[in-house]
C-alpha cells in the first residue's frame, strides 16, 4: 500500500503540528515524566512507600506481559498496551492510585534454540531483546511505574518462583476442608513421616507420565510439535511414547473450586465457558457389570446417563484396557455375527490384531477415523439392572484415559453408540421418550421421560432424566453395584521440562532418591554455566534412550553437600527445569511489591492492591484472614472469594485456558496457605482483538512487499492490486516478516508521532475486535490532533491564542454533552466512540472559531489519556506548571445536558414521514396534533381513517391507518 502521509511540517506554517514537532514534544515529556517519577504508584509500606497518605481508591491494571522476541514489535503488539494506558490515565484523573507496569516473560524455547544455534548465552540475547522492546515501548509514552518492571529471569524473581514451588511441594490437599494445608499437618494427621506415603500426597509430586520422546532431537515434544505421522515437526525424526519421571502439580484437586469460583468473576462468558469445558466436570455413576463366565471379573464403567441403564445392549473396552486379556475367549460363541469377528478365526486373534492396529496409529489418526471399528471379545457381561447378557467389544472410540476406559453402550440414546450398533447389527431399544410423548427418531439424546425401565425392585418409568438418575443411583448404591460419581476431563499439570532455559527446581534428592526442598536461605538456585545448551541427542530410532537435560552434564553443580537438619550429607540436584508457565502464574503479585527481599510481596501491599473492590486500603488487616479455616476454599462463598484481584487484566483470548487456569490454581494454593488475601488473581478480564494485515502474492505465489502494492479500480469498477504493474492477489491474516507486510511502531513514530499512532489504534474499532491495519487511514488521526493544536497555537507565530472569555451557550452545551459521552464511553471501554465524540467537539470548535479557555481546557484534559504528550504540551502552553496527569477529569454539568427542544419523528405505517422540532416537555396530545398538521403526514395518510396513534413523548409519534 503506498503511503502518502505528511512527512515533514509544511514550510507554509512553521508551527503546524506534524511528525517533527510531535517527536520533539514527545521526547521532552517522556524525559520529564521519567525525571519526576510522575507515574510512580505509592505503596502502603516498604521501599516503594513515600509515607504520604494514599488516595482513597486504588486501581490495579495489567497487560498480559510479552515474551521478548528478537523480531521486535509490529503495530499489532501495542494495541492492548495503549488501551490499558488510556484506561489507567483516565482512572488516575478520577483520583485513583493507579498501578500499571509491564514485565517480561523471558524464559522460553526461542531463546534456548537461539543459544543452541549460536552458542551465545540465552540471557545475553534475551536481555538485548528486552532492551530493544523497552526502547520501542518507551516512545509510546506509557504511564508505567518503571520501578516495578521485571523479567521472570531476574534472580530476584526466580527466587520467589522457586519459593512458591516449595510452598506447593510442602502442601497437601485436605479433601474434607477443601483446601491445601502444610505437609507437617499431614504428618500429624497420618501419624507417619514415611517419605513414600507423604510424597504421594504432595501438591507437587513426582510420577511416571507418558511423554513424546524424540531421541533424534534429544527432547520431549509437545503434542503440537508432533506431526500426524508421528514424527517431529522440527527435523522429521521419529517420536516415541515413553514413560518418564516427571514433576506434576495436583491441579485436579482444585477442579471444583476452579469451576465454581468462575461465577463471581467479571470475565467474558466465552472464556469462562472454555475453562468449564476444559475442566469438564460431569456427574454420573460408576456401575459394575459382572462377567459371569470369568471368575472375579467385573467391568466398571462410567456413565453420565445411568438413567439409561435399561437400554444398555453391549459394552466396549478401550483396546488398552487391562481386563481385555482376562475376558477374551478362545473361540467364537455359537452364532457370532461375522461382522463382529474382524475376519479372524478366534477372539484372541481378532483382539490381538485390533490392538496392534490401534497401537500403530497415532492419537491423531485414531481421532480422524470417523468410522466405528471394533471386534467382539467373545465374552458377555450381565446388565446389573435386568441381568441381560450383553456382548463385550473392544473399540478405539473408547479412550483409556477418560472415565474408567470402559463404557456401557446405550445405542438408542448416544450418537456414537448408535453408529456402532448400526454397523454391527446390535439392538437399539428405546428407554427415554421425547417430551410430550413424541417418539423422536433414534438416537434420541435430549431430555425426556424414562420408559421400559423397570425390574422387580425399581422402576424409573415416567421419571424425567434427573429424577431417574437419582433413583437408579440410589438403587445401585443400595445393591452395591455402583456409586454416583463425578469425573473431570482436567488432568494434573505436567511441570518439568528437560531444558536449560527455565527456572531450576529448588529440589535435591537424597541417596534413597527422595526429594527434599532446598532451604529458603539458599534460594534462588541459579542456573549453572554450561558448555553446551543442546540436550544430548541419540540415534533417531533409539527408542530406549532417555532424555539427558543440559543441567545433568554439570557434575559439580548436580552433586552438592547440604545440611538439611541431620548433618552434612551428599545430595543430587534435580536437573529438569520448570515450564514457561511458572513465572506468569504469579507475576501479578510481584508488581505490588517488586523489590521486597523478605517475601514475594508484603501482605499489606498485597491486601491494598489485590483487595476487595477498589479502595480496600484501610480494610481491616485480619478481616479476611485466609489462615482461618472457615474462610477458605469451599467455606467462603464464591462471591466473597472473587471480589478480589487485579481490577482489569487485558490480553489475548489465546490464553483463555492454560495461563489463566494455572495462575488461578497457584493463587488458590497461596490463598489456602495464607500468603494472599483473596482466592482469585484477576477480577476483571478483557480480551483484546488483533491487528491483522493484508498480504500480496504474485503469480508464482511469492509474497511481494505490501507497501509497494498499488490499489486501483479497473473499467468494470472492480478493485485491482498491482506490484510493478503486475497484478497480485490479496490475502488477509497476520502481520509477519515472511508475509512481507510488517509495519512497525517505529515507522509510525517517524511518519506521524506516537500520539497520532495511539489515537489511530484506539479509533480503529472496539478493543475486543480484530481489525485490519490500514496505514493510509492514520492521517485522519493526525488531522484531528492538528486541528486540536491549531485551536490553541497560532501555526504561523507559534503563539498561544487562548482567551479568558466565556463561551457561547451552544458551545457550552456541546462541551458538556461531550464530557458526559466521553465519560460513559471510557467507563464501558468504548475507546473508539470516545475519540469520535472528541473529534466532533474539535470540529465544532473549529467551525465556530472558539478560543476560550472554558472550551479548550476540558478538551485538553479529555484528550490527555489518548494523546498525552500533545495534551501536556498544550496544557503547559495555556499557562499551567505541572503535569495534567493528576488533574480531575472534567465533570458534566447536568443542567446543560437537558435539551429545550428535541427532534420528534413522525411515522405512518412504520415509515418515517416527517421530523419536527418540539419542546422537550410536549405532551402526547400536543405531539399528535402537531404531527397531524404536517403536510407530509397528511399525504401519507391519504385520507384513510387513523386507527391508532402511538406516542413516545417527546421523540416519536407513530400513526397507524
Residues that constitute the known binding site for ATP? 737
Residue 699 is a binding residue for RNA (CB under 7 A): no
Residue 694 is a binding residue for RNA (CB under 7 A): no
β-strand pairing of 240-249 with 219-221: unpaired
What lies within 8 Å, CB to CB, of 335 at 6+ separation is: none
The C-alpha angle 357, 358, 360, rounded to 5 degrees, equals 65
Binding segment toward RNA, per CB under 7 A, in 231-239, 659-667, 830-838, 865-873: 830-838
Rg of the chain over Cα atoms, rounded to whole angstroms, equals: 34
Which of 114, 305, 471, 667 binds RNA (CB under 7 A)? It is: 305
Residue 781 is a binding residue for RNA (CB under 7 A): yes
Smallest gap, in angstroms, from Cβ of residue 187 to RNA?
Answer: 35
- 928 φ, ψ (degrees, to nearest 5): -60, -45
Residue 367 is a binding residue for RNA (CB under 7 A): yes
Tell me the CB-side half-sphere exposure of residue 509, using CA atoms within 13 A.
11
Type and span of the H or E element at 204 = strand 204-214
Residue 538 is a binding residue for RNA (CB under 7 A): no
Of residues 451 and 845, the one with the C-beta less far from RNA: 845
What are 517's strand-pairing partners? 507
* CB distance 475 to 386 below 8 Å: no
Binding segment toward RNA, per CB under 7 A, in 67-75, 493-501, 695-703, 838-846: 838-846
Residue 542 is a binding residue for RNA (CB under 7 A): no
- Interaction with RNA in 241-270: which residues (CB under 7 A)? 269-270
Residue 651 is a binding residue for RNA (CB under 7 A): no
- Interaction with RNA in 144-203: which residues (CB under 7 A)? none
- Interaction with RNA in 922-941: which residues (CB under 7 A)? 936, 939-940
Of residues 169 and 841, the one with the C-beta less far from RNA: 841
- Interaction with RNA in 316-345: which residues (CB under 7 A)? 318
Strands annotated E in 524-596: 559-563, 568-573
β-strand pairing of 956-960 with 948-952: antiparallel
Which of 20, 201, 489, 553 binds RNA (CB under 7 A)? It is: 489
Which of 20, 366, 730, 877 binds RNA (CB under 7 A)? It is: 366
Smallest gap, in angstroms, from Cβ of residue 137 to RNA?
Answer: 24
Residue 10 is a binding residue for RNA (CB under 7 A): yes
* CB distance 920 to 900 below 8 Å: yes
Residue 405 is a binding residue for RNA (CB under 7 A): yes
Q: In what order do the strands lie in the sheet with 648-651?
A: 97-99, 58-63, 648-651, 685-687
Residue 879 is a binding residue for RNA (CB under 7 A): no
* CB distance 860 to 875 below 8 Å: yes
Type and span of the H or E element at 931 = helix 924-933
Binding segment toward RNA, per CB under 7 A, in 326-334, 555-563, 676-684, 839-847: 839-847
- Interaction with RNA in 787-816: which residues (CB under 7 A)? 787
Residue 75 is a binding residue for RNA (CB under 7 A): no
Smallest gap, in angstroms, from Cβ of residue 952 to RNA?
Answer: 5
What are 211's strand-pairing partners? 242
Annotated binding site: 737
Of residues 88 and 821, the one with the C-beta less far from RNA: 821
Residue 369 is a binding residue for RNA (CB under 7 A): yes
Smallest gap, in angstroms, from Cβ of residue 483 to RNA?
Answer: 14
Smallest gap, in angstroms, from Cβ of residue 404 to RNA?
Answer: 7
Smallest gap, in angstroms, from Cβ of residue 869 to RNA?
Answer: 19
Binding segment toward RNA, per CB under 7 A, in 6-14, 32-40, 96-104, 552-560: 6-14
Of residues 29 and 841, the one with the C-beta less far from RNA: 841
How many residues sit in the footprint of RNA (CB under 7 A)?
94
Binding segment toward RNA, per CB under 7 A, in 210-218, 612-620, 852-860, 912-920: 912-920
Of residues 150 and 757, the one with the C-beta less far from RNA: 757
Residue 784 is a binding residue for RNA (CB under 7 A): yes
The C-alpha angle 421, 417, 370, rounded to 5 degrees, equals 95
The DSSP line for 582-640 is HHHTTHHHHHTSTT-SSSSS-HHHHHHHHSSSS--TTS-TTTT-TTSGGGSTTTS-HHH
Residue 915 is a binding residue for RNA (CB under 7 A): yes
Longest Cα separation, the chain: 108
Of residues 498 and 818, the one with the C-beta less far from RNA: 818
Binding mask 727-766 for RNA (x = CB under 7 A): ------------------------------------xxxx
Residue 559 is a binding residue for RNA (CB under 7 A): no
Binding segment toward RNA, per CB under 7 A, in 272-280, 346-354, 431-439, 659-667: 272-280
Which of 109, 127, 352, 836 binds RNA (CB under 7 A)? It is: 836
Of residues 124 and 367, the one with the C-beta less far from RNA: 367
- Alpha carbon distance 892, 764 (integer Å): 26
DSSP letter assigned to residue 676: S
- Interaction with RNA in 106-145: which residues (CB under 7 A)? none
- Alpha carbon distance 141, 867 (integer Å): 9
Instruction: Look at residues 388, 376, 378 and name the one whose alpha carbon lies nearest to residue 309.
Output: 388
Of residues 50 and 483, the one with the C-beta less far from RNA: 483
Q: Which region holds residue 422: left if phi is over 0, alpha if psi is between -120 and 50, else beta?
A: alpha
Of residues 18 and 547, the one with the C-beta less far from RNA: 18
Residue 901 is a binding residue for RNA (CB under 7 A): no
Smallest gap, in angstroms, from Cβ of residue 618 to RNA?
Answer: 33
Residue 6 is a binding residue for RNA (CB under 7 A): yes
DSSP-derived 3-state class of residue 656: coil
Of residues 177 and 428, the one with the C-beta less far from RNA: 428
Residue in the structure block whose three cell numbers are 459521552: 821
Q: Give CA separation, 568 vs 511, 561, 574, in Å.
A: 13, 6, 18
Smallest gap, in angstroms, from Cβ of residue 845 to RNA?
Answer: 10
Residue 828 is a binding residue for RNA (CB under 7 A): yes
Which of 780, 801, 817, 877 binds RNA (CB under 7 A)? It is: 780
Which of 133, 407, 463, 589 binds RNA (CB under 7 A)? It is: 407
* CB distance 650 to 84 below 8 Å: yes
- Alpha carbon distance 493, 207 (integer Å): 11
Tell me the CB-side half-sphere exposure of residue 642, using CA atoms within 13 A.
17
CB-based burial, 250-285: b 16+ in 10 Å, e otherwise = bbbbbbbbbbbbbebbebbeebbebbeebbebeebb
Residue 700 is a binding residue for RNA (CB under 7 A): no
Of residues 13 and 629, the one with the C-beta less far from RNA: 13
* CB distance 205 to 230 below 8 Å: no
Burial of 879 (0-12, 13-18, 19+ CB in 10 A): exposed
Of residues 405 and 638, the one with the C-beta less far from RNA: 405
Of residues 88 and 403, the one with the C-beta less far from RNA: 403
β-strand pairing of 58-63 with 648-651: parallel
Residue 42 is a binding residue for RNA (CB under 7 A): no
- Alpha carbon distance 469, 471 (integer Å): 6
- Alpha carbon distance 711, 720 (integer Å): 6
- Interaction with RNA in 610-649: which residues (CB under 7 A)? none
What lies within 8 Å, CB to CB, of 177 at 6+ separation is: 629, 632, 633, 634, 635
Q: Give CA separation, 309 vs 318, 392, 473, in Å.
A: 20, 15, 10
Q: Give CA separation, 763 vs 433, 769, 784, 872, in Å.
A: 55, 12, 11, 20
Of residues 224 and 330, the one with the C-beta less far from RNA: 224
* CB distance 531 to 555 below 8 Å: no
Of residues 6 and 603, the one with the C-beta less far from RNA: 6
- Interaction with RNA in 15-34: which residues (CB under 7 A)? 16
Amino acid at each position: 500500500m503506498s503511503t502518502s502521509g505528511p512527512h515533514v511540517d509544511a514550510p507554509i506554517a512553521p508551527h503546524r503540528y506534524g511528525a517533527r514537532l510531535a517527536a520533539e514534544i514527545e521526547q521532552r515529556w517522556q524525559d520529564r515524566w521519567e525525571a519526576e517519577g510522575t507515574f510512580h504508584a505509592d505503596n502502603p509500606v516498604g521501599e516503594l512507600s513515600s509515607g504520604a497518605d494514599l488516595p482513597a481508591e486504588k486501581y490495579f491494571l495489567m497487560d498480559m506481559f510479552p515474551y521478548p522476541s528478537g523480531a521486535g514489535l509490529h503495530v499489532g503488539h501495542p494495541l492492548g498496551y495503549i488501551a490499558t494506558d488510556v484506561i489507567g490515565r483516565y482512572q488516575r484523573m478520577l483520583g485513583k492510585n493507579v498501578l500499571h507496569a509491564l514485565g517480561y516473560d523471558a524464559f522460553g524455547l526461542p531463546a534456548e534454540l537461539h543459544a543452541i544455534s549460536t552458542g551465545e548465552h540465552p540471557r545475553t540475547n534475551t536481555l538485548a531483546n528486552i532492551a530493544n522492546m523497552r526502547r520501542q515501548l518507551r516512545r509510546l509514552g506509557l504511564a508505567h511505574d518503571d520501578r516495578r518492571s521485571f523479567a521472570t529471569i531476574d534472580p530476584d524473581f526466580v527466587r520467589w518462583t522457586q519459593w512458591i514451588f516449595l510452598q506447593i511441594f510442602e502442601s497437601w490437599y485436605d479433601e474434607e476442608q477443601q483446601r491445601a494445608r502444610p505437609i507437617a499437618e499431614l504428618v500429624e494427621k497420618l501419624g507417619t513421616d514415611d517419605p513414600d506415603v507423604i510424597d504421594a500426597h504432595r501438591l507437587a509430586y513426582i510420577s511416571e507420565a507418558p511423554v513424546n520422546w524424540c531421541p533424534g532431537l534429544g527432547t520431549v515434544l509437545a503434542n503440537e510439535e508432533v506431526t500426524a505421522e508421528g514424527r517431529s515437526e522440527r527435523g522429521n525424526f521419529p517420536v516415541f511414547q515413553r514413560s518418564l519421571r516427571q514433576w506434576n502439580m495436583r491441579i485436579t484437586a482444585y477442579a471444583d473450586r476452579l469451576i465454581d469460583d468462575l461465577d463471581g468473576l467479571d470475565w467474558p462468558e466465552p472464556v469462562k465457558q472454555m475453562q468449564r469445558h476444559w475442566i469438564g466436570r460431569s456427574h454420573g455413576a460408576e456401575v459394575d457389570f459382572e462377567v459371569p463366565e470369568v471368575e472375579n471379573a467385573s467391568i466398571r464403567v462410567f456413565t453420565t446417563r445411568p438413567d439409561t441403564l435399561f437400554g444398555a445392549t453391549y459394552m466396549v473396552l478401550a483396546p488398552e484396557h487391562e481386563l481385555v486379556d482376562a475376558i477374551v475367549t478362545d473361540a467364537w460363541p455359537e452364532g457370532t455375527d461375522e461382522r463382529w469377528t474382524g475376519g479372524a478365526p478366534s477372539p484372541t486373534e481378532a483382539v490381538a490384531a485390533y490392538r496392534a492396529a490401534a497401537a500403530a496409529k497415532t492419537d491423531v489418526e485414531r481421532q480422524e477415523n470417523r468410522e466405528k471399528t471394533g471386534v467382539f471379545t467373545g465374552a458377555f457381561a450381565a446388565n446389573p439392572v435386568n441381568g441381560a447378557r450383553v456382548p463385550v467389544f473392544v473399540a478405539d472410540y473408547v479412550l483409556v484415559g477418560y472415565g474408567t476406559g470402559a463404557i456401557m453402550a446405550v445405542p438408542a440414546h448416544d450418537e456414537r453408540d448408535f453408529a456402532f450398533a448400526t454397523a454391527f447389527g446390535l439392538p437399539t431399544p428405546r428407554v427415554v421418550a421425547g417430551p410430550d410423548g413424541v417418539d423422536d427418531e433414534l438416537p434420541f439424546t435430549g431430555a425426556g421421560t424414562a420408559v421400559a425401565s423397570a425390574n422387580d425392585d425399581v422402576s424409573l418409568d415416567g421419571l424425567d432424566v434427573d429424577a431417574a438418575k437419582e433413583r437408579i443411583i440410589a438403587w445401585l448404591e443400595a445393591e452395591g453395584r455402583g456409586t454416583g460419581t463425578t469425573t473431570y476431563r482436567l488432568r494434573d499439570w505436567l511441570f518439568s521440562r528437560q531444558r536449560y532455559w527455565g527456572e531450576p527446581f529448588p529440589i535435591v534428592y537424597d541417596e534413597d532418591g527422595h526429594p527434599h526442598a532446598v532451604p529458603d536461605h539458599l534460594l534462588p538456585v541459579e542456573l549453572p554455566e554450561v558448555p553446551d545448551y543442546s540436550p544430548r541427542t541419540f540415534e533417531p530410532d533409539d527408542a530406549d534412550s532417555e532424555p539427558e537435560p543440559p543441567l545433568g552434564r554439570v557434575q559439580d553443580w548436580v552433586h552438592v553437600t547440604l545440611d538439611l537438619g541431620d548433618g552434612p550429607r551428599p545430595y543430587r540436584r534435580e536437573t529438569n527445569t520448570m515450564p514457561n508457565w511458572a513465572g506468569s502464574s504469579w507475576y501479578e503479585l510481584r508488581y505490588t511489591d517488586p523489590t521486597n527481599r523478605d517475601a514475594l510481596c508484603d501482605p499489606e501491599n498485597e491486601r491494598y492492591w489485590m483487595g476487595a473492590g477498589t479502595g480496600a486500603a484501610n480494610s481491616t488487616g485480619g478481616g479476611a484472614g485466609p489462615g482461618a479455616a472457615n474462610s477458605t476454599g469451599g467455606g467462603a462463598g464464591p462471591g466473597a472469594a472473587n471480589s478480589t484481584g487485579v481490577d482489569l487484566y487485558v490480553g489475548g483470548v489465546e490464553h483463555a485456558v492454560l495461563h489463566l487456569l494455572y495462575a488461578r490454581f497457584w493463587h488458590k494454593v497461596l490463598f489456602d496457605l495464607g500468603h494472599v488475601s483473596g482466592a482469585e488473581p484477576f477480577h476483571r478480564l478483557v480480551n483484546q482483538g488483533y491487528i491483522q494485515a493484508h498480504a500480496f502474492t504474485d503469480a508464482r505465489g511469492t509474497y511481494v512487499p505490501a507497501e509497494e502494492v498499488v490499489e486501483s479500480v479497473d473499467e468494470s469498477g472492480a478493485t485491482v492490486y498491482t506490484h510493478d504493474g503486475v497484478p497480485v492477489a490479496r490475502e488477509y491474516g497476520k502481520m509477519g516478516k515472511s508475509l512481507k507486510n510488517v509495519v512497525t511502531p517505529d515507522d509510525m513514530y517517524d511518519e506521524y508521532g506516537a500520539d497520532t499512532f495511539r489515537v489511530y489504534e484506539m479509533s480503529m474499532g472496539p478493543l475486543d475486535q480484530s481489525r485490519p491495519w490500514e496505514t493510509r487511514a492514520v492521517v485522519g488521526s493526525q488531522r484531528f490532533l492538528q486541528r486540536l493544536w491549531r485551536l490553541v497555537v497560532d501555526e504561523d507565530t507559534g503563539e498561544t491564542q487562548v482567551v479568558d472569555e466565556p463561551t457561547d451557550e451552544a458551545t457550552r452545551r456541546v462541551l458538556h454533552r461531550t464530557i458526559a459521552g466521553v465519560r460513559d464511553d471510557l467507563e464501558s471501554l468504548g475507546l473508539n466512540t470516545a475519540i469520535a465524540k472528541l473529534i466532533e467537539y474539535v470540529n465544532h470548535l473549529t467551525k465556530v472559531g472558539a478560543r476560550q479557555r472554558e472550551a479548550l481546557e476540558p478538551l485538553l484534559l479529555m484528550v490527555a489519556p489518548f494523546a498525552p504528550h500533545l495534551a501536556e504540551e498544550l496544557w503547559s502552553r495555556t499557562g499551567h506548571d505541572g503535569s495534567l496527569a493528576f488533574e480531575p477529569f472534567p465533570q458534566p454539568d447536568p443542567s446543560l445536558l437537558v435539551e429545550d427542544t428535541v427532534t420528534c419523528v413522525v411515522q405512518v405505517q412504520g415509515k418515517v414521514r416527517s421530523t419536527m422540532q418540539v419542546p422537550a416537555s410536549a405532551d402526547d396530545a400536543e405531539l399528535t396534533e402537531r404531527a397531524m398538521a404536517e403536510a407530509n403526514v397528511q399525504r401519507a395518510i391519504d385520507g384513510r381513517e387513523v386507527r391508532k396513534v402511538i406516542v413516545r413523548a417527546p421523540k416519536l409519534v407513530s400513526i397507524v391507518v
